[in-house]
């Protein structure tokens, strides 16, 4: 049985004080959730303060982005080794906003995956199709390419430690959510890809999150699907009540 994993991506929201306040409140409100892994991803500026706010709690901290070089003349970038030294545990890689707004290529995503592991960070690999790709019935081929190129060169043990977040681009921040049936279909497809390419333990261990307008009112039905192991939450992770509401949905699915 895979342990559920709920992660909050705060994106470019909350200054240091606001982020610290939210992290502190979450640390208090989530102490009773023992059967789920929790992570939050603030901006780089707020990482240090947030890490201190959740120290010795059950909340892990994730980075929203990193460069694939360890150090050097790369103005404006942050290396994975710097993030790990600061206390970051997880790293978002390949989010659709990075791919579309910042032209992050498949090759760059792969380099970031490898750099994350070299630094001791656990990647959360984001994949998903646009509405146009879905309407063209190419969602599976798009996701297959994203996953295969991202995982290229990684060992089976490394792949087993990856979290994959399926986020249909058309559902991110739109209020539109994939139906539980549609989401499960893609999650099952992703797991089958792992079954076909790696030893059996890999597909059994990899957690596949759903992301895309996850809210307290729809989380339970989504998380009840057999291949949906958690959620990567955007807007609803910015308030204590909404994020904790999603965690309560996990407990409902666990009986």
The answer, yes or no, to whether residue 70 has pLDDT greater than 90, is yes
Which residue, chain included where needed, has tokens 């942050």? 78
Each residue's pLDDT tens digit, 123-170:
999 999 998 899 999 999 999 999 999 999 999 999 999 999 999 998
Q: Are 172 and 234 in contact (CB under 8 A)?
A: yes
> Which of the residues 97, 104, 129, 167 is marked catalytic?
167
Alpha carbons within 13 angstroms on the beta-carbon side of residue 182 total 14
The answer, yes or no, to whether residue 67 has pLDDT greater than 90, is yes
| Residues 6 or more apart whose Cβ sits within 8 Å of residue 21 | none
Tell me, what's the pLDDT at 174? Answer: 79
Tell me, what's the pLDDT at 255? Answer: 59
The answer, yes or no, to whether residue 65 has pLDDT greater than 90, is yes
- The CATH code belonging to domain 5-253 is 3.20.20.70
The answer, yes or no, to whether residue 251 has pLDDT greater than 80, is no
Write the DSSP string, 141-184. HHHHHHHHHHHTT--HHHHHT-EEEE--GGGTTSS----HHHHH
Beta strands per DSSP E along 79-162:
90-93, 122-127
Catalytic residue status for 217? no
Each residue's pLDDT tens digit, 14-62:
999 999 999 999 999 999 998 999 999 999 999 999 999 999 999 999 9
Mean pLDDT of the chain: 95
Catalytic residue status for 167? yes
Tell me, what's the pLDDT at 177? Answer: 78
Tell me, what's the pLDDT at 172? Answer: 80
> Which of the residues 66, 95, 97, 187 is marked catalytic?
95
């Amino acid at each position: 049985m895979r342990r559920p994993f709920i992660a909050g991506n705060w994106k470019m929201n909350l200054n240091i004080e606001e982020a610290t306040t939210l992290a502190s409140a979450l640390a208090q409100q989530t102490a009773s959730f023992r059967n789920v892994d929790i992570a939050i991803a603030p901006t780089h500026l707020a990482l240090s303060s947030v890490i201190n706010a959740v120290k010795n709690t059950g909340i892990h901290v994730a980075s929203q982005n990193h460069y694939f070089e360890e150090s050097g003349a790369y103005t404006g970038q942050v290396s994975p080794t710097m993030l790990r030294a600061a206390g970051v545990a997880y790293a978002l890689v390949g989010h659709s906003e990075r791919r579309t707004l910042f032209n992050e290529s498949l090759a760059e995503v792969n380099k970031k995956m490898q750099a994350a592991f070299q630094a001791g960070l656990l990647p959360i690999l984001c994949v998903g199709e646009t509405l146009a790709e879905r309407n063209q019935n190419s969602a599976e081929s798009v996701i297959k390419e994203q996953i295969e190129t991202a995982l290229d060169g990684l060992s089976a043990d490394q792949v087993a430690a990856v979290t994959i977040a399926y986020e249909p681009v058309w559902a991110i921040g739109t209020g539109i959510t994939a139906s539980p049936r549609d989401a499960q279909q893609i999650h099952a497809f992703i797991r089958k890809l792992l079954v076909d390419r790696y030893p059996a333990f890999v597909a059994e261990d990899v957690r596949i999150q759903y992301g895309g307008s996850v809210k307290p009112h729809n989380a339970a039905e989504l998380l009840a699907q057999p291949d949906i192991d958690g959620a990567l939450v955007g807007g609803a992770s910015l308030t204590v009540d909404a994020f904790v509401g999603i965690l309560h949905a996990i407990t409902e699915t666990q009986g």
